[in-house]
Homo-oligomer: A and B are copies of this chain.
């Protein structure tokens, strides 16, 4: 059985049709048909039910499907294992939350890049859910996300601990004061942001629910909005650097149970980490503050 046939099969199954698979595989439909038919004749079973609207897996096809994915992944891993001699090189693609990137990773990336000139670093940012999705889809080797994460396909290791603080305009002298502002809004990074849920929990605990929201795409915009008195947000306390501290934004500390979040590094359990990734992780561990 040829691995390429299997990959073709997988694409057809996933996309629900041979023509569509042909498009994805950059070939023509007759070619896909041929490969699928050959696979079927080798196996002696029908893998698809053809219909006017495409191809649907037969039970035999369904049994084959998980192997197609596994074999594909294994071939890939085999290549990486053979190439990877322990000296980090190649492309390392990791994800992180925007806040983690800004707060923790930014300073690390430069020194990592300097220490491992053979590695092309790619950092993607997004929400915890997005990152987890991409790690599962093998688009990222791993990601820093808001923990805890429990998923059978993933392993996670604690990376950082953040102390979140409620941020408000400087005239509010306490959390209570900040929350009493009329027409208070939640200023959040974007839908799905890990800290948004936490913020809502914190407020709900104080009997405040159903606030309006303001969503911005960047941290700077959020801080600007908070400084302008548009609302409050919840972000790592140390994110408020000299430029914002004091005059323009006030950070209200919360009790530990509300404030502390673990940032964990997750990766697929079944994917062997590249040397570049291992080096990155040890780099992070070595240089983290505590």
Contact = CB atoms under 8 A, between A and B. Distances in A.
A171 interface: no
Contacts of A47: 82
B78 A67 contact: yes
Interface string A80-115: 011111000000000000000000000000000000
Interface stretch (A55-63, A125-133, A145-153): A55-63
Listed residue (A70, A81, A84) with the most chain B CB atoms within 10 angstroms of its CB: A81
Nearest to A67: B78
A182 interface: no
B83 A44 contact: yes
Contact of A63 (B43, B63, B82): B82
Interface residues of A, number: 29
A77 B83 CA distance: 27
This chain: copies in complex: 2
B82 A71 contact: no
A79 B40 CA distance: 10
A23 interface: no
A136 B229 CA distance: 72
A220 interface: no
A192 to B, nearest CB: 36
Nearest to A63: B81
Contacts of A2: 2-4
B75 A61 contact: no
A159 to B, nearest CB: 28
A63 B274 CA distance: 13
Nearest to A86: B59
A221 interface: no
Contacts of A45: 82-83, 85
A6 B78 contact: yes
A68 interface: yes
A46 to B, nearest CB: 10
Interface of A: 1-4, 6, 42-45, 47, 59-61, 63-64, 67-68, 70-71, 74-75, 77-79, 81-85
Given A60-B85, A68-B78, 13 more contacts: A1-B3, A2-B4, A3-B3, A3-B75, A45-B82, A60-B82, A60-B83, A63-B81, A64-B82, A67-B75, A67-B77, A67-B78, A71-B74
